[in-house]
A and B are shown apart, each in its own frame.
Chain A
């Protein structure tokens, strides 16, 4: 079972999971980051901390709670069962939910900083030029926060690819369904298939390096625009 050919389904699944979750994260994180950057509500700090939690928590802790929630006895699990969806743990959907939560801070924070960096002035200018608040969000805030949105997408994509703990806890390493590159490497090592583990790990190393390089390039380009 531990041939290098086993790696292809894992790579395909990893890419699918990463693209889907970074796409969904962009949709979820943008309004959340906008709210965090604009609100003066007392909830701002607690909710900000909650979103940041996955940054500091061991992934196994997060994975454990997700498992408990999504599993047959969990609140969410009971809801999904009663809706006829079934149990989400040990499924691709469960994996997707887990990685959305796990990568949320990596998407929210760059976008939030980008919105905060715009400042109040351009938004006030838009209002004096008859743009409604929603109009201002789409025609001024989003275009000006573009570097932040790009950073968020790249980071959450890369972070999803790199996750292990949550994936193992919630996905269970089922080949073709929830087995991704990181868990595949773990499997190779466990069965002493070091050559295969080397190949896949080297691939990850190169990939991560390229992502960081691209991110740096992106940053210097957006800096040039602002000065």
Chain B
């Protein structure tokens, strides 16, 4: 990672109820998800990046320094080129949708201003809301307007603090696809705070796992989803998230075939295009192990591999088995007793049976 392209952070913050002490070097492209239980300091980290909270340490974005407490440098919030989306939609009640969107834009000296606004407006599908008052918007619409307002200033860094947490399940389903569109359409780096694993699975390229104000894991999405730290943090929901390419389809059975590393997988066809790259998630509890390839089973996906490691950090009865399948890693949660019965140990060749594969599109 070159120095110019990174967001280098070192922060120390002490509060009565918790403290933060962390050091991070984040890539300045794609979405970095900051994931962790509530009270782990995710929001405080984001507020420090925005300058809304004052901490000791440094924050360097590319060649700019926003904070260097050693040299008494601290750029005030309004001079940092950020966009910030708060947990609850925080639109100005005294302005209508259009004036809310123009609020930030008017204060940025840029000639291509309204083009950026038009792009943000169409990316979030809010053209029809422009003349409306804030009071007449639904929760999901408010949050989309808030995101567009932050985007319109073309910030160097977009900070999102659990933008879906205040919405109910239906509204989340409404807003999430718009966020995925942003991810695909924009080069803008984003730091996305969440405690929902499905948002990480869908949006993140890079993951920071925060626990009690400290970084317990950090790296590219697939790498972190294979880590024992994340498995410990989310338990039953642990599983590998990776990418695969659509290579074929079975029109009769409405299935699509994916190339995952060297292996082929069948998934339900959801109108995929051949050649398309998709995100897949395989929960560790849906992966079982067999010594020989099974023919007389309803499970369709079998991947050959070699056991890399066996861990029993979750429960004395349960093992987290890390299997290398070509270039890819799979994690299986099985009982320790069945491992012993099958005499499996690191280095053993093995077949992974994957009961279900979630497609993230």
Asked if A189 is at the interface of the complex by the 8 Å CB criterion, the answer is no
CB distance from B133 to the nearest CB of A (A): 10
Bound state CA distance, A97 and B104, in angstroms?
42
Task: Identify which of residues 52-108 in chain B touch chain A, using a CB-to-CB cut-off of 8 Å.
Answer: 52, 76-79, 82-84, 86, 90, 92-94, 103-104, 107-108
Task: Identify which of residues 188-210 in chain B touch chain A, using a CB-to-CB cut-off of 8 Å.
Answer: none
> Contacts A121-B90, A125-B84, A125-B86; is A135 near B77 (CB within 8 Å)?
no
Question: Which residues from chain B contact A203 at a C-beta distance below 8 Å?
Answer: none
* A124 near B153: Cβ-Cβ < 8 Å: no
CB distance from A146 to the nearest CB of B (A): 8
> Contacts A124-B77, A128-B150, A129-B149; is A144 near B107 (CB within 8 Å)?
no
Question: Which residues from chain A contact B93 at a C-beta distance below 8 Å?
Answer: 144, 225-226
Using A127-B52, A128-B150, A129-B103 as known contacts, list a sample of 20 further A-B pairs with CB atoms less than 8 Å apart, ordered by residue number in A: A121-B86, A124-B52, A124-B77, A124-B90, A125-B92, A126-B78, A126-B92, A127-B78, A128-B52, A128-B84, A129-B78, A129-B107, A129-B149, A131-B78, A131-B103, A131-B107, A132-B78, A140-B94, A143-B94, A225-B93
Question: Which residues from chain B contact A125 at a C-beta distance below 8 Å?
Answer: 84, 86, 90, 92
Question: Which residues from chain A contact B150 at a C-beta distance below 8 Å?
Answer: 128-129
CB distance from B180 to the nearest CB of A (A): 23
CB distance from A132 to the nearest CB of B (A): 5
Bound state CA distance, A126 and B150, in angstroms?
11
Could you show 8 A-B contacts with beta carbons less than 8 Å apart? A122-B90, A126-B103, A128-B150, A129-B153, A133-B78, A140-B92, A144-B92, A226-B93
User: Scoring A residues 118 to 156 as 1 if CB is less than 8 Å from chain B, else 0, what string do you get?
Assistant: 000110111111111101100110011010000000000
Question: Which residues from chain B contact A130 at a C-beta distance below 8 Å?
Answer: 78-79, 104, 107-108, 153
Question: Which residues from chain B contact A122 at a C-beta distance below 8 Å?
Answer: 90, 92
Bound state CA distance, A143 and B149, in angstroms?
19
CB distance from A192 to the nearest CB of B (A): 55
Residue in chain B with minimal CB distance to A145: B94
Question: Which residues from chain B contact A136 at a C-beta distance below 8 Å?
Answer: 78
* A128 near B107: Cβ-Cβ < 8 Å: no
Bound state CA distance, A48 and B171, in angstroms?
45
Bound state CA distance, A146 and B77, in angstroms?
26
Asked if B284 is at the interface of the complex by the 8 Å CB criterion, the answer is no
* A128 near B82: Cβ-Cβ < 8 Å: yes
CB distance from B193 to the nearest CB of A (A): 15
Task: Identify which of residues 149-178 in chain B touch chain A, using a CB-to-CB cut-off of 8 Å.
Answer: 149-150, 153
* A127 near B77: Cβ-Cβ < 8 Å: yes
Bound state CA distance, A129 and B149, in angstroms?
8
CB distance from B49 to the nearest CB of A (A): 11
Bound state CA distance, A137 and B140, in angstroms?
29
Asked if B332 is at the interface of the complex by the 8 Å CB criterion, the answer is no
Question: Which residues from chain A contact B90 at a C-beta distance below 8 Å?
Answer: 121-122, 124-125
* A127 near B76: Cβ-Cβ < 8 Å: yes
Bound state CA distance, A82 and B21, in angstroms?
63
Question: Which residues from chain A contact B103 at a C-beta distance below 8 Å?
Answer: 126, 129, 131, 139
Asked if B354 is at the interface of the complex by the 8 Å CB criterion, the answer is no
Bound state CA distance, A225 and B94, in angstroms?
9
Question: Which residues from chain B contact A129 at a C-beta distance below 8 Å?
Answer: 78, 103-104, 107, 149-150, 153
Bound state CA distance, A226 and B92, in angstroms?
11
Question: Which residues from chain B contact A144 at a C-beta distance below 8 Å?
Answer: 92-94
Asked if B283 is at the interface of the complex by the 8 Å CB criterion, the answer is no
6 pairs of A and B residues whose beta carbons are closest in the complex: A129-B104, A128-B84, A127-B77, A130-B107, A143-B94, A127-B78
Central interface residue in A128, A136, A139, A226, by most chain B CB within 10 Å: A128
Asked if B50 is at the interface of the complex by the 8 Å CB criterion, the answer is yes
Bound state CA distance, A172 and B114, in angstroms?
63
Question: Which residues from chain B contact A135 at a C-beta distance below 8 Å?
Answer: 107
Residue in chain B with minimal CB distance to A226: B93
Residue in chain B with minimal CB distance to A127: B77
* A128 near B92: Cβ-Cβ < 8 Å: no
Bound state CA distance, A143 and B93, in angstroms?
10
Question: Which residues from chain A contact B135 at a C-beta distance below 8 Å?
Answer: 225
Question: Which residues from chain A contact B92 at a C-beta distance below 8 Å?
Answer: 122, 125-126, 140, 144
Bound state CA distance, A130 and B105, in angstroms?
9
Bound state CA distance, A130 and B90, in angstroms?
15
CB distance from A42 to the nearest CB of B (A): 20
Central interface residue in B51, B79, B83, B94, by most chain A CB within 10 Å: B94
CB distance from B239 to the nearest CB of A (A): 35
Question: Which residues from chain B contact A133 at a C-beta distance below 8 Å?
Answer: 78
Question: Which residues from chain A contact B84 at a C-beta distance below 8 Å?
Answer: 124-125, 128
User: Scoring A residues 90 to 133 as 1 if CB is less than 8 Å from chain B, else 0, what string do you get?
Assistant: 00000000000000000000000000000001101111111111
